[in-house]
Amino acid sequence: MQLRSFFDEYADSSFARGIAGRSYAIIGGGFYGCVIALYLDHFGGRVTLFESDDTLLMRASYNNQARIHQGYHYPRSMITGVRCVANFQKFCQIFASSVYRDFVKLYGIARRDSLVSAAQFQTFCERIGAPLKTAPKKYRQYFDPELVEEVFETQEYAFDAVKLRQMLLGEFETSRVALRYSTRVERLSQRADGRIAVELFAGGEQLADEVFACGYSQLNTLLRRSALPLLPLKHEVAEMSLVRVPRELQELGITIMDGPYFSLMPFPAEQLHSFSHVRYTPHESWQDALLDRDPERYMQAQTIRSNFVKMRQDALRYVPLVRGCEYVRSLVQTKTVLTRNERNDGRPILLRRNYAYPGLNLVLGGKIDNIFDVCQAMATSPHAMTANS
């Protein structure tokens, strides 16, 4: 299935039929902003995409673990797990050229301090329909049996952000979307005729019938500058270490669940592995409701000292071979989530249509394959306030 063939599934929706001839501004050239721009262009919208960097997919879409989820990560959020399974195969088909499959993904369930047992994890996977089997002995031997109750082999892939960007750039070449790189949006305001003015830092403005703000960590910054109500968001300064792994681990991905958590995943864009840890990946966090801080400017002013040594020291208790991981560099990014999901670890998408005034739409994605839920929600519930996965 191709991306535009997927869009055609919504051709008969009232939303799709109303796009032609209308003007749209997309704020943010990450994965969500790009796909939404192409979606609107496909049905005849006049689309301009504003991106502050000089190319696409360089921030949250790149600086993450590059995991294509199939629900295993969310045993405490059934609905998130179900939506992951529903979207997994579709993402792998549509964005096949960016999907890296050449590794075995293992999940180990910790014996102590885990929020789920091996039996509970197995039951969860059965309920959401995620493939699961006990890992063979050749992989189980890498885990300390005193600390790891069970090891499962799963079906989970990674995406190559560079190849994904190349694919989307190819889609834009055959579209009518106007890409405006190195362009920062200062604020939004509504004109008397109902159109929305997109005011730029460099001066000038562009009017649009509708705006889709897909700026991830910058959503509330834009709302604050526009004198609009804020969303209930929490931000984390998150470090993803990139490492070279020992020979035995080169074709493996490993996650320990669910509490004393670490994860080691192939990072195909740089032919390395990413290394994250539940305790040491977050360096700092804050809520927008309690602190007026621009995440992007704050990050630019920070010098982050890597926690890799602490990550490795804790992780090697569970998988002794981790001792051989060699640090290369770290990806540091602001991770943004809805405050209501801090406790259950769910990762819903947020789609707010007609926020504050008609035509202003806010999008916050939880995971890369949630994009299909956004497209579905736009088509089937054009006036809905939220769309969860």
pLDDT tens profile 82-109: 999 999 999 999 999 999 999 999 999 9
Say if CB 7 and CB 157 are below 8 A apart.
Answer: no
Closest CA to 154 of 98, 97, 74: 74
Crossing angle between the packed helical segments 118-128 and 78-94, to the nearest 10 degrees: 60
**Mean pLDDT of the chain, nearest integer:** 93
Classify residue 176 by burial, with Cβ atoms within 10 Å: 0-12, 13-18, 19+.
exposed
pLDDT at 260: 74
Tokens of 145: 């049996």
Average pLDDT over residues 151-158: 98
Residue 91's closest CA among 38, 171, 177, 31? 31
pLDDT digits (tens, 9 = 90+) for 184-215: 999 999 999 999 999 999 999 999 999 999 99
pLDDT digits (tens, 9 = 90+) for 266-308: 999 999 999 999 999 999 999 999 999 999 999 989 889 999 9
Q: How many Å separate Cα 8 from the centre of its chain?
A: 24
Helices (H), the chain: 3-7, 14-17, 31-42, 78-94, 118-128, 137-140, 161-173, 219-225, 295-300, 308-315, 371-380
Q: How far is CA 271 from CA 6, 100, 251, 268, in A?
A: 30, 11, 11, 5
For β-strands 178-180 and 46-50, DSSP reports them as: parallel
Buried b (16+ CB within 10 A) or exposed e, 24-41: bbbbbbbbbbbbbbbbbb
pLDDT at 385: 39
Q: Which two tokens stand for residue 279?
A: 């305790």
**Could you write out the DSSP letters of every residue in 14-49?**
HHHHTTTT-EEEEE--SHHHHHHHHHHHHTT-EEEE
231: nearest Cα among 332, 341, 333: 341
Q: Place 154 in a pLDDT band, splitting at 50, 70 and 90.
A: very high
**331 touches 238 (CB < 8 A):** no
**d(Cα 371, Cα 169) in Å, to the nearest integer?**
17
| Predicted local distance difference test score (pLDDT) of residue 366 | 72
Instruction: Work out the average pLDDT over 2-16.
Output: 93
pLDDT in tens, 155-195: 999 999 999 999 999 999 999 999 999 999 999 999 999 99
pLDDT at 23 over 70: yes
Q: Contact at 8 Å (CB) between 47 and 209?
A: no
Q: Is the dihedral of CA 136, 261, 367, 351 positive or negative?
A: positive
Residue 217 CB burial class (10 angstroms; 0-12, 13-18, ≥19): buried
Per-residue pLDDT, averaged over 376-384, amounts to: 72
Location of structure tokens 């696409």: 56
Whether the Cβ atoms of residue 66 and residue 331 lie closer than 8 Å to each other: no
